[in-house]
Protein backbone atom coordinates (compact mmCIF):
# COMPACT_ATOMS: atom_id res chain seq x y z
CA UNK A 1 0.00 0.00 0.00
CA UNK A 2 2.80 2.41 0.92
CA UNK A 3 4.53 1.60 -2.37
CA UNK A 4 1.40 2.46 -4.33
CA UNK A 5 1.03 5.78 -2.50
CA UNK A 6 4.70 6.65 -3.06
CA UNK A 7 4.37 5.84 -6.78
CA UNK A 8 1.27 8.02 -7.05
CA UNK A 9 3.02 10.96 -5.35
CA UNK A 10 6.05 10.57 -7.62
CA UNK A 11 3.83 10.63 -10.73
CA UNK A 12 2.10 13.83 -9.53
CA UNK A 13 5.46 15.52 -8.85
CA UNK A 14 6.78 14.57 -12.28
CA UNK A 15 3.66 15.97 -13.97
CA UNK A 16 4.00 19.22 -11.98
CA UNK A 17 7.67 19.61 -12.97
CA UNK A 18 6.82 19.01 -16.62
CA UNK A 19 4.07 21.64 -16.51
CA UNK A 20 6.44 24.14 -14.85
CA UNK A 21 9.07 23.49 -17.50
CA UNK A 22 6.49 23.94 -20.27
CA UNK A 23 5.32 27.24 -18.77
CA UNK A 24 8.91 28.44 -18.43
CA UNK A 25 9.62 27.55 -22.07
CA UNK A 26 6.50 29.46 -23.20
CA UNK A 27 7.57 32.52 -21.16
CA UNK A 28 11.09 32.37 -22.61
CA UNK A 29 9.70 32.07 -26.16
CA UNK A 30 7.47 35.10 -25.58
CA UNK A 31 10.39 37.11 -24.21
CA UNK A 32 12.50 36.15 -27.22
CA UNK A 33 9.71 37.20 -29.58
CA UNK A 34 9.50 40.62 -27.89
CA UNK A 35 13.27 41.04 -28.12
CA UNK A 36 13.32 40.05 -31.79
CA UNK A 37 10.47 42.44 -32.62
CA UNK A 38 12.28 45.27 -30.82
CA UNK A 39 15.49 44.56 -32.72
CA UNK A 40 13.85 44.86 -36.13
CA UNK A 41 12.18 48.20 -35.36
CA UNK A 42 13.94 51.20 -36.88
CA UNK A 43 15.74 53.41 -34.41
CA UNK A 44 14.26 56.92 -34.24
CA UNK A 45 16.24 59.68 -35.95
CA UNK A 46 18.81 61.27 -33.65
CA UNK A 47 17.34 64.70 -32.96
CA UNK A 48 20.72 65.97 -31.73
CA UNK A 49 22.54 65.29 -35.01
CA UNK A 50 23.51 68.44 -36.94
CA UNK A 51 24.20 68.10 -40.67
CA UNK A 52 25.87 71.14 -42.23
CA UNK A 53 26.00 71.81 -45.96
CA UNK A 54 28.33 74.68 -46.94
CA UNK A 55 26.96 76.84 -49.75
CA UNK A 56 29.54 79.62 -49.86
CA UNK A 57 31.55 81.76 -47.41
CA UNK A 58 29.03 82.47 -44.61
CA UNK A 59 26.06 80.79 -46.28
CA UNK A 60 25.09 77.36 -45.06
CA UNK A 61 22.21 74.91 -44.73
CA UNK A 62 21.71 73.20 -41.39
CA UNK A 63 19.64 70.04 -41.04
CA UNK A 64 19.07 69.41 -37.34
CA UNK A 65 16.69 66.59 -36.49
CA UNK A 66 13.45 67.44 -38.28
CA UNK A 67 14.29 71.13 -38.78
CA UNK A 68 16.18 72.90 -41.58
CA UNK A 69 17.50 76.45 -41.39
CA UNK A 70 19.71 78.68 -43.53
CA UNK A 71 22.37 81.12 -42.42
CA UNK A 72 23.05 84.33 -44.35
CA UNK A 73 21.50 83.12 -47.63
CA UNK A 74 23.10 84.77 -50.67
CA UNK A 75 23.73 83.62 -54.23
CA UNK A 76 20.18 83.53 -55.57
CA UNK A 77 17.63 80.73 -55.44
CA UNK A 78 19.82 78.55 -57.67
CA UNK A 79 22.35 78.20 -54.87
CA UNK A 80 19.68 76.31 -52.89
CA UNK A 81 18.08 74.35 -55.72
CA UNK A 82 19.14 71.00 -54.24
CA UNK A 83 18.31 71.92 -50.65
CA UNK A 84 15.24 71.46 -48.48
CA UNK A 85 13.12 74.52 -47.78
CA UNK A 86 14.07 76.24 -44.53
CA UNK A 87 11.90 76.31 -41.42
CA UNK A 88 13.61 79.58 -40.46
CA UNK A 89 16.51 81.78 -41.58
CA UNK A 90 19.29 83.47 -39.58
CA UNK A 91 21.00 86.67 -40.78
CA UNK A 92 24.01 88.02 -38.92
CA UNK A 93 24.83 91.42 -40.45
CA UNK A 94 24.11 94.07 -43.09
CA UNK A 95 27.04 93.38 -45.44
CA UNK A 96 26.15 91.83 -48.82
CA UNK A 97 27.94 88.55 -48.07
CA UNK A 98 25.38 88.07 -45.27
CA UNK A 99 22.25 89.98 -46.23
CA UNK A 100 20.84 89.75 -49.76
CA UNK A 101 17.25 90.85 -50.18
CA UNK A 102 17.09 89.54 -53.76
CA UNK A 103 18.01 86.03 -52.65
CA UNK A 104 15.48 86.16 -49.82
CA UNK A 105 12.75 87.17 -52.25
CA UNK A 106 13.80 84.58 -54.84
CA UNK A 107 13.58 81.78 -52.27
CA UNK A 108 9.80 82.33 -52.00
CA UNK A 109 9.89 81.84 -48.25
CA UNK A 110 6.18 82.46 -47.72
CA UNK A 111 5.66 83.01 -43.99
CA UNK A 112 9.03 81.47 -43.01
CA UNK A 113 10.53 83.56 -40.23
CA UNK A 114 13.80 85.44 -40.79
CA UNK A 115 15.74 86.22 -37.60
CA UNK A 116 17.73 89.45 -37.89
CA UNK A 117 19.37 92.21 -35.86
CA UNK A 118 17.67 95.61 -35.94
CA UNK A 119 20.24 97.00 -38.40
CA UNK A 120 19.30 94.33 -40.94
CA UNK A 121 15.58 94.97 -40.46
CA UNK A 122 16.12 98.61 -41.32
CA UNK A 123 17.70 97.71 -44.66
CA UNK A 124 15.33 95.01 -45.90
CA UNK A 125 12.42 95.96 -48.19
CA UNK A 126 8.85 96.33 -47.02
CA UNK A 127 7.71 93.08 -48.64
CA UNK A 128 9.97 91.11 -46.27
CA UNK A 129 9.17 93.00 -43.10
CA UNK A 130 6.27 90.76 -41.99
CA UNK A 131 8.62 87.76 -41.92
CA UNK A 132 11.16 89.32 -39.59
CA UNK A 133 11.90 88.52 -35.96
CA UNK A 134 14.31 91.06 -34.51
CA UNK A 135 16.93 89.90 -32.05
CA UNK A 136 19.67 92.12 -30.73
CA UNK A 137 22.76 91.32 -28.69
CA UNK A 138 21.80 89.40 -25.56
CA UNK A 139 18.24 88.59 -26.64
CA UNK A 140 16.94 85.03 -26.26
CA UNK A 141 13.91 83.60 -28.04
CA UNK A 142 12.16 80.24 -28.28
CA UNK A 143 11.59 79.43 -31.95
CA UNK A 144 10.10 76.06 -32.87
CA UNK A 145 12.10 73.55 -30.78
CA UNK A 146 15.11 75.85 -30.44
CA UNK A 147 16.34 78.24 -27.84
CA UNK A 148 18.25 80.93 -29.75
CA UNK A 149 20.50 83.56 -28.20
CA UNK A 150 21.97 86.53 -30.06
CA UNK A 151 25.67 86.93 -29.22
CA UNK A 152 27.70 90.12 -29.88
CA UNK A 153 30.05 90.00 -32.88
CA UNK A 154 32.53 92.82 -33.44
CA UNK A 155 36.10 93.91 -34.16
CA UNK A 156 38.82 94.56 -31.62
CA UNK A 157 39.84 97.09 -30.55
CA UNK A 158 36.41 98.68 -30.65
CA UNK A 159 36.12 101.81 -32.77
CA UNK A 160 33.40 103.73 -34.59
CA UNK A 161 34.97 103.07 -37.99
CA UNK A 162 35.41 99.31 -37.46
CA UNK A 163 34.12 96.95 -40.14
CA UNK A 164 31.87 95.46 -37.45
CA UNK A 165 31.04 97.73 -34.51
CA UNK A 166 29.64 96.13 -31.38
CA UNK A 167 25.85 96.01 -31.26
CA UNK A 168 25.12 96.00 -34.99
CA UNK A 169 25.37 92.32 -35.89
CA UNK A 170 24.64 89.00 -34.21
CA UNK A 171 26.38 85.74 -33.75
CA UNK A 172 23.96 83.03 -32.60
CA UNK A 173 23.92 80.17 -30.12
CA UNK A 174 21.20 77.62 -30.88
CA UNK A 175 20.22 74.93 -28.40
CA UNK A 176 18.02 71.90 -28.95
CA UNK A 177 17.70 68.73 -26.86
CA UNK A 178 20.74 69.69 -24.82
CA UNK A 179 23.04 70.23 -27.83
CA UNK A 180 24.49 73.68 -28.54
CA UNK A 181 25.63 75.21 -31.83
CA UNK A 182 27.56 78.50 -32.10
CA UNK A 183 27.66 80.53 -35.33
CA UNK A 184 30.17 83.32 -34.84
CA UNK A 185 29.30 85.77 -37.59
CA UNK A 186 31.95 88.41 -38.39
CA UNK A 187 33.82 88.69 -35.14
CA UNK A 188 37.15 88.56 -33.41
CA UNK A 189 37.85 86.56 -30.26
CA UNK A 190 35.78 88.81 -28.06
CA UNK A 191 35.16 88.23 -24.34
CA UNK A 192 31.66 87.07 -25.26
CA UNK A 193 33.13 84.35 -27.49
CA UNK A 194 35.77 83.33 -24.95
CA UNK A 195 33.13 83.01 -22.22
CA UNK A 196 30.88 80.62 -24.13
CA UNK A 197 30.19 77.33 -22.37
CA UNK A 198 29.16 73.81 -23.37
CA UNK A 199 29.32 74.37 -27.12
CA UNK A 200 29.10 71.15 -29.11
CA UNK A 201 29.71 72.60 -32.58
CA UNK A 202 31.18 76.02 -33.40
CA UNK A 203 31.51 77.79 -36.74
CA UNK A 204 34.25 80.40 -36.44
CA UNK A 205 35.23 83.08 -38.97
CA UNK A 206 38.82 84.07 -39.84
CA UNK A 207 39.66 86.49 -42.65
CA UNK A 208 41.69 89.66 -42.81
CA UNK A 209 41.13 92.52 -42.59
CA UNK A 210 37.47 91.92 -41.77
CA UNK A 211 37.57 89.57 -38.78
CA UNK A 212 40.68 87.93 -37.28
CA UNK A 213 43.81 86.03 -38.31
CA UNK A 214 44.19 82.29 -37.92
CA UNK A 215 46.27 82.46 -34.73
CA UNK A 216 43.76 84.71 -32.98
CA UNK A 217 40.88 82.48 -34.06
CA UNK A 218 42.65 79.43 -32.64
CA UNK A 219 43.30 81.24 -29.35
CA UNK A 220 39.63 82.15 -29.08
CA UNK A 221 38.56 78.57 -29.72
CA UNK A 222 41.02 77.26 -27.12
CA UNK A 223 39.45 79.64 -24.60
CA UNK A 224 35.90 78.27 -24.85
CA UNK A 225 36.78 74.71 -25.96
CA UNK A 226 33.91 73.50 -28.14
CA UNK A 227 33.74 69.78 -28.79
CA UNK A 228 34.00 70.46 -32.53
CA UNK A 229 34.99 73.57 -34.48
CA UNK A 230 34.51 74.28 -38.17
CA UNK A 231 36.33 77.22 -39.78
CA UNK A 232 34.12 79.16 -42.19
CA UNK A 233 34.05 82.65 -43.70
CA UNK A 234 37.79 82.39 -44.37
CA UNK A 235 38.22 84.36 -47.61
CA UNK A 236 39.88 87.76 -47.17
CA UNK A 237 41.31 90.49 -49.37
CA UNK A 238 44.48 88.54 -50.12
CA UNK A 239 43.09 85.06 -50.52
CA UNK A 240 42.06 82.29 -48.16
CA UNK A 241 43.05 81.91 -44.53
CA UNK A 242 45.22 78.89 -43.80
CA UNK A 243 42.66 76.61 -42.21
CA UNK A 244 45.15 73.73 -42.05
CA UNK A 245 47.30 75.93 -39.82
CA UNK A 246 44.24 76.74 -37.75
CA UNK A 247 43.62 73.05 -37.21
CA UNK A 248 47.26 72.49 -36.25
CA UNK A 249 47.21 75.33 -33.70
CA UNK A 250 43.95 74.20 -32.11
CA UNK A 251 45.08 70.60 -31.77
CA UNK A 252 48.47 71.64 -30.41
CA UNK A 253 46.57 73.47 -27.68
CA UNK A 254 43.90 70.82 -27.08
CA UNK A 255 43.93 67.51 -28.93
CA UNK A 256 40.40 66.76 -27.71
CA UNK A 257 38.83 69.50 -29.86
CA UNK A 258 37.76 68.06 -33.20
CA UNK A 259 38.56 70.39 -36.09
CA UNK A 260 36.50 69.66 -39.20
CA UNK A 261 37.56 71.32 -42.44
CA UNK A 262 34.77 71.92 -44.96
CA UNK A 263 34.95 73.46 -48.42
CA UNK A 264 33.02 76.70 -48.23
CA UNK A 265 34.27 77.81 -51.67
CA UNK A 266 33.51 74.90 -53.99
CA UNK A 267 33.57 76.99 -57.17
CA UNK A 268 36.88 78.76 -56.56
CA UNK A 269 40.56 77.92 -56.32
CA UNK A 270 41.15 77.83 -52.57
CA UNK A 271 44.85 76.94 -52.75
CA UNK A 272 45.99 80.53 -52.22
CA UNK A 273 46.15 80.89 -48.45
CA UNK A 274 47.55 83.38 -46.00
CA UNK A 275 48.33 83.37 -42.32
**Domain of 250: which CATH number?**
3.60.15.10
- Percentage of the chain modeled with pLDDT above 70: 80
Task: Please check whether residues 28 and 55 belong to one and the same domain.
Answer: no
Task: Please check whether residues 22 and 156 belong to one and the same domain.
Answer: no
pLDDT in tens, 65-101: 999 999 999 999 999 999 999 999 999 999 999 999 9
Task: Please check whether residues 6 and 23 belong to one and the same domain.
Answer: yes
User: At 269, is the pLDDT very low, low, confident or very high (cuts 50, 70, 90)?
Assistant: low
DSSP state of 71: E
Task: Please check whether residues 80 and 191 belong to one and the same domain.
Answer: yes
Task: Please check whether residues 231 and 123 belong to one and the same domain.
Answer: yes
Task: Please check whether residues 58 and 136 belong to one and the same domain.
Answer: yes
Task: Please check whether residues 120 and 180 belong to one and the same domain.
Answer: yes
Task: Please check whether residues 175 and 263 belong to one and the same domain.
Answer: yes
Enclosing domain of residue 19 = 1-41
State the Cα–Cα distance between residues 201 and 205, nearest whole angstrom: 13
Calculate helix-pair angle for 214-224, 243-253, nearest 10 degrees. Answer: 40
Per-chain mean pLDDT for the chain = 86
Task: Please check whether residues 240 and 108 belong to one and the same domain.
Answer: yes
Task: Please check whether residues 109 and 199 belong to one and the same domain.
Answer: yes
What confidence score (pLDDT) does residue 140 get? 98
State the Cα–Cα distance between residues 258 and 244, nearest whole angstrom: 13
Interval 207-211 mean pLDDT: 92
What confidence score (pLDDT) does residue 22 get? 46
State residue 221 phi and psi, 5-degree precision.
-65, -40
State the Cα–Cα distance between residues 167 and 163, nearest whole angstrom: 12
Please count the structural domains in the chain. Answer: 2
Amino acid sequence: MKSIISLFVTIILLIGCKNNESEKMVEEDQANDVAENASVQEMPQDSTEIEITPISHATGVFDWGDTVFYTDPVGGAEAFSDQKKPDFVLITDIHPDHMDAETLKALNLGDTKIIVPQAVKEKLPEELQTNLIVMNNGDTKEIMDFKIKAVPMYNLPESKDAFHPKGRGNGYVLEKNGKRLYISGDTEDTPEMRNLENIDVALVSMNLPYTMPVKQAAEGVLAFKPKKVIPYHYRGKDGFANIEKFKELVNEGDKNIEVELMDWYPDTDSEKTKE
